[in-house]
């Protein structure tokens, strides 16, 4: 039977690797602090966490006082810790996701060390941390950043016992990881079970003891479900059964059967949906991915059974998520560690002269996938400040464009010269350099187009916490988070008129267009403007001007 890797590889000290993970976390935390929250998921999670802290109800989350059954409880628990320490800041809200990415990098190293060797494992964790989709999800206040390490932990524990005797504590740890994943995002956390089952089916060797593995996996799954039920049963009882009905029925089953919020539809047209997601989301390492797939499939990368693991991991997840009606890029985020391992292993194999000519051809062919994405990103950096009318931001945007163009051209040239490791070093260093103008210039400049944080600041400064707030025509979740109060959404012009006639103080956040239309037809609402902000409603892709109008106290 083929071995995995040399024993000395499995005894490599982890202290330097942990230090690298801490550097990754530090960079991500700095990125977290460079911008306010983005609509719409981030402020929903964040405001629900703030309400949990305010109410002291840690059993189930609410948003604007109403049950929020979209996701289970773990993300809110984890976000509440830094939020209590740092206050309701963007860093506090995103802290857990960034920590999750750093932990995922550590787990990716452990998998790579076992199947590929230390050199490949180090490359893999660096590649994973620098891909575009991981950067986005790892700096977002959502549940994906904490789900990913739970799922990858299951794969690490599976790898630990694939060709050796799995101890009881491995099974217990696997059950705990599955349980935490269920608490993070529900049934999707069980996908590693599918990957493992497919891997065992692809191996199909008697010495692997597949039935023993499946039995242990089943036991771990039962333990994971029990961990989940310890919270789910009391939470469901406390909400009169609504958490299960809405959380499982609407946000899981309905999402799988039909596209929600316009994310999907037209099944045949969307069959290749995840191909461009991989090409763009795995950037810049798309440059090496085609050659890496060739090397893995032809068994020139990885020790025993890595090919089967890679195929089961990537193909089964992409197929399952393609069949799910609702489609979003992060639905296949779980495949990113597998692809990072493939690229890391290929870079190590290239340095050892193990690649065949067909692999080198595919590595050179990666420029046809990488080039259009790089070119599109360069054009975006050049055009965005002009499109958004940000003349003061030309320097950081165009600096980022120049850096990205230079790095991309150099990396592609090195790739075409059959120097994949040189191009990888260029990409890794280039991504680090690119982050400097992005973090220090591009992200702060984009704050100018955000409406809610600026308006909310004025409302908080000029009115007491007891003054009620209502909205009409602008109801983005960032407003709820940054104002930090419950908000009444007014459903019609008639309701707005009734609201304006009430005698107590209040604040109405309304688009200037809607306000002008109402007053033209119904007369002045006799409200005083506290502040107005012109910007971009990027959730809808439309420019908007919004005002915060004060309703003064009136005496009979």
For 14-45, how does the pLDDT look when each residue is reduced to its tens digit (9 = 90+)? 888 999 999 999 999 999 999 999 988 999 99
Confidence of residue 2 (pLDDT cuts 50, 70, 90): very low
Q: What is the pLDDT of residue 1?
A: 35
- Contact, 116 vs 301, CB < 8 A? yes
Q: What is the pLDDT of residue 261?
A: 54
Q: What is the pLDDT of residue 206?
A: 60
- Residue 554, pLDDT > 90, answer no
Characterize 249-261 residue by residue with b for buried, 16 or more Cβ atoms within 10 angstroms of its Cβ, and e for exposed.
eebeeebbeebee
- Contact, 532 vs 508, CB < 8 A? no
Q: What is the pLDDT of residue 9?
A: 61
Query: How much is the pTM?
Result: 0.93
Confidence of residue 164 (pLDDT cuts 50, 70, 90): low
Neighbours of 26 (CB within 10 A): 12
Question: d(Cα 166, Cα 213) in Å, to the nearest integer?
Answer: 9
Q: How many residues are listed for the chain in this entry? A: 556
Give φ, ψ of 390 to 5 degrees. Answer: -120, 65
Sign of CA dihedral 241, 246, 247, 252: positive
Mean pLDDT value across residues 183-211: 87
Q: What is the pLDDT of residue 535?
A: 93
pLDDT tens digits, one per residue of 384-406? 999 998 878 999 999 999 999 99
Mean pLDDT value across residues 297-315: 92
**Residue 74, SS3?**
helix
- Residue 237, pLDDT > 90, answer yes
Mean pLDDT value across residues 199-224: 84
Q: Omega of the bond prior to 40 within 30 degrees of 0, cis?
A: yes
**Residue 507, SS3?**
strand
- Residue 463, pLDDT > 80, answer yes
Mean pLDDT value across residues 75-81: 98
Characterize 276-304 residue by residue with b for buried, 16 or more Cβ atoms within 10 angstroms of its Cβ, and e for exposed.
ebbebbbbbbbbbbbbbbbbbeeebbbbb
| Helix (H) or strand (E) segment spanning residue 510 | strand 506-511
Give φ, ψ of 305 to 5 degrees. Answer: 75, 5
Q: Omega of the bond prior to 37 within 30 degrees of 0, cis?
A: no
Confidence of residue 302 (pLDDT cuts 50, 70, 90): confident
Q: Which residue has 């600096």 as its token pair?
A: 399
Give the relative orientation of helices 118-129 and 15-32 as an angle to the nearest 10 degrees: 10
Nearest to 133 by CA among 151, 111, 148: 148
Query: With pLDDT > 70 as the criterion, what percentage of the chain qualifies?
Result: 92
């Amino acid at each position: 039977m083929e071995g995995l890797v040399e024993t000395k590889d499995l005894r490599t000290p982890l202290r330097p690797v942990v230090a690298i993970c801490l550097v990754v976390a530090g960079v991500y935390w700095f990125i977290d602090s460079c911008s306010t929250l983005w609509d719409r998921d981030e402020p929903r999670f964040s405001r629900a966490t703030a309400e949990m802290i305010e109410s002291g109800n840690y059993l189930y989350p609410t948003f604007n006082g109403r049950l929020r059954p979209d996701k289970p409880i773990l993300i809110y628990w984890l976000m509440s810790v830094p939020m209590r320490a740092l206050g309701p800041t963007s860093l506090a809200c995103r802290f857990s996701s960034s920590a999750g990415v750093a932990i995922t990098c550590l787990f990716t190293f452990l998998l790579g060390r076992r199947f590929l060797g230390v050199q490949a494992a180090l490359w893999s964790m660096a590649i994973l941390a620098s891909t575009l989709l991981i950067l986005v999800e790892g700096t977002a206040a959502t549940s994906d950043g904490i789900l990913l390490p739970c799922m990858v932990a299951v794969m690490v524990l599976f790898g630990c016992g694939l060709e050796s005797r799995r101890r009881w504590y491995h099974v217990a740890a696997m059950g705990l990881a599955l349980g935490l994943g269920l608490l993070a995002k529900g049934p999707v956390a069980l996908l590693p079970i599918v990957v493992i089952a497919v891997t065992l089916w692809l191996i199909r060797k008697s010495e692997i003891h597949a039935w023993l593995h499946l039995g242990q996996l089943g036991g771990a799954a039962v333990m994971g479900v029990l961990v989940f039920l310890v919270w789910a049963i009391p939470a469901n009882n406390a909400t009169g059964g609504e958490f299960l009905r809405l959380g499982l029925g609407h946000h899981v089953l309905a999402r799988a059967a039909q596209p929600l919020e316009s994310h999907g539809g037209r099944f045949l047209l969307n069959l290749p949906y995840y191909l461009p997601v991989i090409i763009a989301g795995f950037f810049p390492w798309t440059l090496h991915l085609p050659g890496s797939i060739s090397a893995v499939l032809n068994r020139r990368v990885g020790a025993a059974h890595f090919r089967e693991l890679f195929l089961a991991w990537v193909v089964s997840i992409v197929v399952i998520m393609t069949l799910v009606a609702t489609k979003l890029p992060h639905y296949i985020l779980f495949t990113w560690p597998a692809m990072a391992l493939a690229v890391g292993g290929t870079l190590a194999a290239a340095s050892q002269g193990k690649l065949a000519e067909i692999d080198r051809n595919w590595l050179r062919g990666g420029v046809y996938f990488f080039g259009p994405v790089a070119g599109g990103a360069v054009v975006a950096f050049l055009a965005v400040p002009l499109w958004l009318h940000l003349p003061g931001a030309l320097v950081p945007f165009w600096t980022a464009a120049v850096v990205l163009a230079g790095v991309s051209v150099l990396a592609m040239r090195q790739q075409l010269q059959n120097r994949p490791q040189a191009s990888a070093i260029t990409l890794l260093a280039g991504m680090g350099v690119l982050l400097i103008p992005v973090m220090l210039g591009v992200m702060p400049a984009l704050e100018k187009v955000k409406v809610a944080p600026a308006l909310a600041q004025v409302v908080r400064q000029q009115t007491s916490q007891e003054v009620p707030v209502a909205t009409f025509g602008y109801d983005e979740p960032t407003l709820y988070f940054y104002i930090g109060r419950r908000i009444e959404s007014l459903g019609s012009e008639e309701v707005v008129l009734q609201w304006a006639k009430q005698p107590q103080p209040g604040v109405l956040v309304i688009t200037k267009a809607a306000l002008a239309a109402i007053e033209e037809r119904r007369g002045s609402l006799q409200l005083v403007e506290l502040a107005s902000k012109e910007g971009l409603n990027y959730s809808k892709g439309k420019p908007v001007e919004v005002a915060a109008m004060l309703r003064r106290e009136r005496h009979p």
